[in-house]
Amino acid sequence: MLTVFRRLLVCLLWLWLPLSQAADTGWLRAADNQHASVRLRAQTENSGETRLLLDVTLQKGWKTYWRSPGEGGIAPAISWDQPLEAVWRWPTPQRFDVAGITTQGYHGDVSFPITLRGNLPERLSGVLTLSTCSNVCILTDYPFALDLTASPGDDFSYDYSRATGALPLSGGLTSALNASYAFGKLTVTAQRNAGWQQPSLFIDSMDDVDFGKPTFSVRNDVLTATVPVTDSWGETLTTLSGKTLSIVLADSGQAQESSLVIRPGSIITTPSLGWVVLMALLGGLILNVMPCVLPVLAMKLGTLMQTENHARGQVRRQFLASVAGIVISFLALALMMTVLRLGNQALGWGIQFQNPWFIAAMALVMVLFSASLLGLFEIRLPSAASTFLATRGGNGLAGHFWQGAFATLLATPCTAPFLGTAVSVALAAPLPLLWGIFFAMGIGMSLPWLLVAAWPGLAQRLPRPGRWMNVVRIASGLMMLGSSLWLVSLLTVHLGTLPAITLGIVVILVLLLLTAWRYRWQTALHAGALALVFAGAVAFATGSDGENPRRDRVNWQPLSEQSIARALAENKRVFVDVTADWCVTCKANKYNVLLRDDVQDALSAPDIVALRGDWSRPSASISQFLTTRGSAAVPFNQIYGPGLAQGHVLPALLSREAVITTLSDAKGK
């Protein structure tokens, strides 16, 4: 009996881990935690480096934690009995959300490769502390000992290789990656050529910084992760600029671990809903005086003048039809934005002008309208259609409807004051609010038309029809022709300069031939000479200012987040200009402000980096740049510097004083 007892005692001592001298601890369990099992194995390489593998097996519903647990939990740790250097390597974690608390960790089976360095004894010992949680959390200590002279088993190398295969890589997932912080929000943007499916982001903790749960948005191949940030007291942090951020970004079974220097971001303030609606109304109203819409207004005025009797009912119906065309067109734009958002495509005001087919169709329609106004031909409907419109459409209300719709389409290249803010809020807002804001913009643009519909007597005060109307009609046709040629010029970025110029010349020659056929050759020659004089005047006005040619002397560089961060690190100022060939407001800013000598001198200063982004064609990087700054329209101008680390966004309509003053403020002290 005594012999049996002694044998049992020896077995118990063998199973008791601190007395074990093997390189494999076997599976360890604790009496107070039956939900987890752990095992440690070690092997010393010929290089003298010791590899340690920590295996953890958890029951279903239980989890343990990553090196940065998040809002709760404790990361696994080993307290060694001997002084040594242990380098932990962490597999890609998962995110857990329980009762409003978000944590980062693992469930099921997980293995941690650990590298031991230094002069190690033959026998290693220590205590593993592991936190496991389900509905409750248990903190468990596992004492262990390892004999480094023993073998860990034949399957160690395979298991260690499999564990290292689950580690995030240092690259290969993203082609561009950056991080910025502005007033409580960390923004991480990443570009992946293969696109994004189910992205996840894990952030290492910082001292006195709490990171919340990220939210994601994907447009084309660019991912934007927005993370709320507070200090340990729940207050908003002033800045994180210049600090190093360690993250793991994962998608579709592939993960990348990166370290980023946080750059300053733009402070984006979202106005209240009432202000947004008011901005939408004002922005839509101001569109009526933008140069894009003037040709259609002239055509509308010409239509009224051709009517001998301005009957109140008839005028009201005509203008209400135009209002319907405007509002429905804005709702059609809202539908287009909704489809693009659901398809994770780029959103922005006027982006349809990035499509060459849309530009060509608009140019064709404008040329036809111009030829009709110049009297070269008339668009006649079949008699049955004319009778139908006369009896049911209120004397051809369809034409007035399309006038309103056409005015809306021509307004989209213009960015009026207040409009940019309203559009930016709309494109980031829930879909019902997006539709509401676009409807408010339609009502705003319709206000002058509604004014005439409400008081038709305003139309009755127009001069009586006479020969002078032919002059107005020709002027309207020429304005429409100028707009069509401008649209043809936008095809330069898609077709090239020579094809676009050739197409414009063909349009002019066809109109001249129609003029000669409709009237006589002498009239066509006079019109051609007038066109040459007009083209020369435009070229002179846009190319010179008095005696000094308007030449851009600024050394513009391609726009990128990296360029901004690099310039700020060198204590330089940055001027950002995002423009597009189809943006009329951009052209006005260029010729009225940016090409002025004093502004050119200011932008050519040695400590200024001028960055320009061209949005004439679709660009995921520029769309992402605008989105991170709460903008969805061009022109967009922003100035950074030592005195404006967060960046200052300039108004849509630039002024010389605003540019020079803000550049001076960017110097700082």
Residue 613: give its domain's CATH number. Answer: 3.40.30.10
**Do residues 155 and 208 share a domain?**
no
**Which of 115-124, 331-340, 386-395, 543-552 comes out lowest in average pLDDT?**
386-395
Q: Report the distance separating Cα 624 and Cα 219, nearest Å.
A: 8
d(CA 520, CA 245): 75
Q: Determine the average pLDDT of the residues in 121-147.
A: 91
Query: Helix H segments across 137-205?
Result: 156-165
Categorize the per-residue pLDDT at 552 as very low, low, confident or very high, splitting at 50, 70 and 90.
confident
Full-prediction pTM beyond 0.85?
A: no
327 and 352, same domain (yes or no): yes
Tokens 């009432």 -> residue: 274
% of the chain beyond a pLDDT of 70:
72
Residue 585 within a domain: yes
How far apart are alpha carbons 10 and 15 in whole angstroms?
Answer: 9
Q: Which two tokens stand for residue 7?
A: 């044998």
Which of these ranges, 150-159, 358-367, 458-467, 552-561, has the smallest mean pLDDT?
458-467
Cα 486–Cα 492–Cα 496 angle in degrees, nearest 5: 155
Answer yes or no: is pLDDT of 144 > 90.
yes
| Residue range(s) defining the domain that contains residue 232 | 176-264
Query: With 90 as the cut, is the pLDDT of residue 11 above it?
Result: no
Q: What is the mean pLDDT of residues 504-510?
A: 79
Same domain, 146 and 237: no
377 pLDDT tier (thresholds 50, 70, 90) = low
Does residue 195 sit in the same domain as residue 295?
no
**Predicted local distance difference test score (pLDDT) of residue 12:** 43
Token readout for 425 is 């809020």
Most confident of 220-224, 260-264, 607-611: 607-611
Do 125 and 53 belong to one domain?
yes
Domain's final residue, options 105, 140, 165:
165
Q: Are residues 624 and 660 in the same domain?
A: yes
Distances from the Cα of 23 to the Cαs of 77, 145, 148, 297, in angstroms?
Answer: 19, 8, 6, 87
Residue of 199, 202, 197 lying closest to 95 (CA atoms): 202
**In this structure, are 259 and 306 located in the same domain?**
no
**Closest of 230, 175, 178, 227 to residue 201, by C-alpha:** 227
Residue where one domain finishes, among candidates 264, 299, 322: 264
DSSP string, 432-493: HHHHHHHHHHHHHHHHHHHHHHH-THHHHTSPPP-THHHHHHHHHHHHHHHHHHHHHHTTHH
Instruction: Tell me how far apart the alpha carbons of residues 482 and 6 are, in angstroms, rounded to a whole number.
Output: 107
Instruction: Tell me, yes or no, whether 546 lies in a domain.
Output: no
Same structural domain, 249 and 331? no
The CATH number covering residue 36 comes to: 2.60.40.1250
Whether 108 has a pLDDT exceeding 80, the answer reads yes
229 in any annotated domain: yes
Last residue of a domain, one of 243, 264, 285: 264
By three-state DSSP, how is residue 645 classified? strand
CATH code of the domain containing 230: 2.60.40.10
Question: Which of 89-93, 231-235, 291-295, 603-607 is the least confident region?
Answer: 291-295
537 has a pLDDT exceeding 60: no
Number of domains into which the chain is organized: 4
* 16-67 confidence digits (pLDDT tens): 333 333 488 999 999 888 999 999 999 887 777 889 999 999 999 999 999 9
Quick one: 136 and 182 in the same domain?
A: no
Question: Same structural domain for residues 287 and 252?
Answer: no
Asked whether residue 170 is assigned to any structural domain, the reply reads no
Residue 6 has pLDDT above 60, yes or no: no
